[in-house]
Amino acid sequence: MKKIIILLISGIVYAQPPVAPTTGEQVGDPRGENTGEYNIRNSFELGYRFATAGGDFDMYRSTVNYTDGIRLLSSSLSIQSRDGHGRWFDSLQLNTQGLGNDPYESATLRVEKNRLYRYDMIWRLNDYYNPSLTIANGEHFKSTSRIWQDHDLTLFPQSNLKFFLGYSRNEENGPALTTIQLFDFRGDTFPLFADVRRQQNEYRVGGEINFLGFRLNVLRGWEDFKEDTPTDILASTAAFRIGIDGNAVPLGEPGDNGLNTLNAYHSSQPYHGTSPYWRVGLFREGKRFYAVNARFTYVAGSRNFIDNEVSGGSTTSGAPATRQILVFGDARRPAANGNLNVTLFPASFFTITNQTTVNNIRMQGNALFSEIDNGVAITPFIPFTLLGIRTIANGTDAELRYKKRFSVHTGYHYSDRRIQVIDGQQNAGLPAPAPPNNIPITQFNHQHAGTLGVRIRPVAGLTILADGEIGRADAPYTPISDRNYTVFRARAEYKRKTWRASVYEKTDYNTNSVSLTSYASRSRNFGADASWTPNDWFAIDAGYTKLHLNTLGGLDFFAAGQATQFNSLYISNIHTASLGARFSIAKKADVFVGYSHSQDVGDGRSTADGLPLGAGTATVLDPFRAVQTFPLKFVSPEARLSVRIHRQLRWNVGYQYYGYNEQFTNFQDFHAHTGYSSLLWSF
């Protein structure tokens, strides 16, 4: 029992979850109550959560989002048949978290009867709030709720012939703000209100049969998706320009003549479709000589849509403008994928694996685009697009082991990718235009990578892992894609009965030359953590991680009519530290204290070029330099006390502080005090 407690305690302090619900502290009889043919264990944690926030409440909601109120912080119900022959089920396990009004709620249920069925359900809710101020200056606000549910029923789970039935539902609803730019290239950006309404339903049916030692698994699924998100004007004459400091620039500011207006707007964009799919798998564990599996998948996605957009206002020159855009069409994406993986064990100390993958995905769409500007129809046109990606990859890995002390593994991976693009259009009612408009543009991309690694156990409890990968690719798709990359990882862990310590290091360098400059990214991670659980009433865990990233890229753009080239050097140095300690007092009370600290020190400057963000506008390049390092700090200490007041009852109280501090500006800083008090009742 002591070992079990130590195991539980050591697990508690690794992560730092939110202060509530209470985790780990047990109450009640661990053996449960016997009722008829079942054994039952049940617990509820009911309490009140409080939260106060100062500073930018929007950012608080975006990152933390807890609010006041009564919550069923957690509950657990476990019913087990004592002889494995329950009438309707042998095992039932129900867990909930955050029910009541927490922004993060979930429930899981598993019910099964031996040899007959197994049913799994997961239900989740996530209230999502994001002002996203640093991204698009507040226009792309979102306050939506996403609810997922997954249901899976397996019939005859232990037999040679089993069946699967599944259903999943994913909904997102809520208000949002988006933007549109009208009526000409120099027009302003106008905020729009969007009523987000998205829904996905997925149905699955399948089976698995065992024959000749092979297992054949077949799954057929249908995914239906629909989005009906209307957008409307937020307010008339709501034109504004966008300032990089996060504020909208009002009308009448220098550079804005105030003539560009939007007085009426409505857009309806129903977007419906289905993605039926097949998955066929064949696999076998060939005793101790080989393992082989093959999989084929096919997804045939299609979507139909209409966009009806009506707007009225005035152009940047003040001329009245009305516009109606009507687009309808469809898009399709068949995607096929095949895998063949073979693992051979020629000897007990030697393993060799070969994997082959073939992917072929083709996205294509067409539509009829018609537009009426100020009562004059432009010639409708039909765009036709295609993006095809075909990838063939093969890799071989080998591992050689010498007893438990040493092993070495190496591998070679090759990938051949073809990307094909057609980006064409034709005027409605006319023949297809002459080439080159509809000629496919094809690009080939090859990648070779080699890996080498060792694992050493020089003494009992100590494990050292080190491996590296070197890859070379030609014609990468984007300037930041893998081209000449080198990855090195090392990890050492020393584990004893009551404590463990580990250090790790990972570097990931990628260099991708372009004519303007060399794009290069250098990521270096280092971490160390340790935990100590000397007895059943004390445990401590601490960890530190440094995540360094610097990238050098080339920017090429126009500014004030001049072509401008600029080397973009982004530097991020993120230090994170965590500490958790837990101890018991006289077996009556448990105390947990924790601290989490994340800080990006950037390149060492507290402001960009010594100037607050947005202030450096003396030259065109100043704003670019200003966003190359973003120092900020996010800290969260917490403490929790759990007191056993009865054999079946615990009283818990906790407090957690959140502090968010941007050191380049303080528009979004916040601090928050959250906490809870609850009773954990078990019976």
Partner 1 sequence: MYLLRAVLLAGLLAPAAAVAADYVGSNVCKTCHPDVWANFYRNPHFKSVASGKEAPENTGCESCHGPGKAHVEARGGKATIIAFSQLSAEKTLDACLRCHSQTMSRANIRRSTHTQQDVVCSTCHSIHKSPAPKFLLAKAQTDLCYGCHSSVRAQFSMPFKHRVNEGTVQCTDCHNPHGAFDPTWRAATRPRMVEQSQANEEACLKCHIDKRGPFVYEHGSVRVEGCETCHSPHGSMNARLLRRPVTLTLCLECHNGQGTFGSFGPKFNSGVQKPPSDHNLADPRYRNCTSCHVRIHGSNTSEFFFR
Q: Which is nearer to partner 1, 56 or 586 (CB)?
A: 56
Q: Which is nearer to partner 1, 167 or 586 (CB)?
A: 167
Minimum distance, C-beta of residue 387 to partner 1, in the bound complex (Å): 5
Minimum distance, C-beta of residue 123 to partner 1, in the bound complex (Å): 11
Query: Is 93 an interacting residue with respect to partner 1 (CB under 8 A)?
Result: yes
**Structural contact between residues 142 and 130, judged by C-beta atoms closer than 8 angstroms:** yes
Q: Which is nearer to partner 1, 305 or 538 (CB)?
A: 305
> What is the length of the chain?
683
Number of Cβ atoms within 10 Å of the Cβ of 540: 19
Interacting residue with partner 1 among 53, 111, 632, 672 (CB under 8 A): 632
Query: Is 309 an interacting residue with respect to partner 1 (CB under 8 A)?
Result: yes
Query: Is 75 an interacting residue with respect to partner 1 (CB under 8 A)?
Result: no
Residues 279-308 that bind partner 1 (CB under 8 A): 279, 281, 283, 285, 287-289, 291, 293, 295, 297-299, 301-303, 305, 307
Query: Is 573 an interacting residue with respect to partner 1 (CB under 8 A)?
Result: no
Minimum distance, C-beta of residue 534 to partner 1, in the bound complex (Å): 18
Query: Is 380 an interacting residue with respect to partner 1 (CB under 8 A)?
Result: no
Interacting residue with partner 1 among 44, 129, 277, 676 (CB under 8 A): 277
Which amino acid belongs to residue 246?
G
Which amino acid belongs to residue 618?
A
Number of Cβ atoms within 10 Å of the Cβ of 136: 16
**Structural contact between residues 13 and 594, judged by C-beta atoms closer than 8 angstroms:** yes
Q: Which is nearer to partner 1, 490 or 586 (CB)?
A: 490
Number of H helices, E strands in the chain: 4, 32
Strand partners, 37: none
Residues 519-548 that bind partner 1 (CB under 8 A): 519, 525, 527-529, 543, 545, 547
DSSP 83: S
x-or-dash pattern for partner 1, window 586-615, by CB under 8 A?
----------x-x-x---------------
**Structural contact between residues 399 and 467, judged by C-beta atoms closer than 8 angstroms:** no
Residues 40-59 that bind partner 1 (CB under 8 A): none
Interacting residue with partner 1 among 50, 99, 145, 146 (CB under 8 A): 146
| Residue located via tokens 């329950």 | 86
x-or-dash pattern for partner 1, window 206-245, by CB under 8 A?
--x-x----x-x-x-x-x-x-x-------------xxxx-
Interacting residue with partner 1 among 266, 323, 332, 548 (CB under 8 A): 332
Query: Is 31 an interacting residue with respect to partner 1 (CB under 8 A)?
Result: yes
Query: Is 491 an interacting residue with respect to partner 1 (CB under 8 A)?
Result: yes
What is the C-alpha separation between 389 and 466, in angstroms, rounded?
34
The interface region with partner 1, picked from 258-266, 312-320, 473-481, 638-646 by CB under 8 A, is 473-481
Strand partners, 155: 117, 163
DSSP state string for 586-611:
TTTEEEEEEEEEEEE-TTS-SSBTTB
Query: Is 148 an interacting residue with respect to partner 1 (CB under 8 A)?
Result: yes
**592 exposed, middle or buried (CB, 10 Å; 0-12, 13-18, 19+)?**
buried
Q: Which is nearer to partner 1, 180 or 586 (CB)?
A: 180
Count, residues near partner 1 per rule CB under 8 A: 224
- Of 545, 542, 512, nearest to 526 (Cα)? 545
**Structural contact between residues 381 and 389, judged by C-beta atoms closer than 8 angstroms:** no
DSSP 527: E
Q: Which is nearer to partner 1, 253 or 586 (CB)?
A: 253
Is residue 268 within a helix (H) or strand (E), and if so which, with residue range? strand 261-268
Minimum distance, C-beta of residue 532 to partner 1, in the bound complex (Å): 14
Residues 663-682 that bind partner 1 (CB under 8 A): none
3-state SS string for 326-343: EEEEEEEEEEEEEEEEEE
Number of Cβ atoms within 10 Å of the Cβ of 362: 15
What is the C-alpha separation between 585 and 264, in angstroms, rounded?
67
**Cα atoms found within 13 Å of the Cα of residue 207, Cβ hemisphere only:** 7
Query: Is 275 an interacting residue with respect to partner 1 (CB under 8 A)?
Result: yes
x-or-dash pattern for partner 1, window 418-457, by CB under 8 A?
-xxxxxx-----------xx-x-xxx-x-x-x---x-x--
Interacting residue with partner 1 among 101, 145, 237, 366 (CB under 8 A): 366
| Residue located via tokens 């064990």 | 345
Which amino acid belongs to residue 630?
F
Minimum distance, C-beta of residue 589 to partner 1, in the bound complex (Å): 21
Interacting residue with partner 1 among 67, 101, 126, 324 (CB under 8 A): 126
Structure tokens at 337: 């994928």
Q: Which is nearer to partner 1, 586 or 675 (CB)?
A: 675
**Structural contact between residues 370 and 326, judged by C-beta atoms closer than 8 angstroms:** yes
Strand partners, 258: none
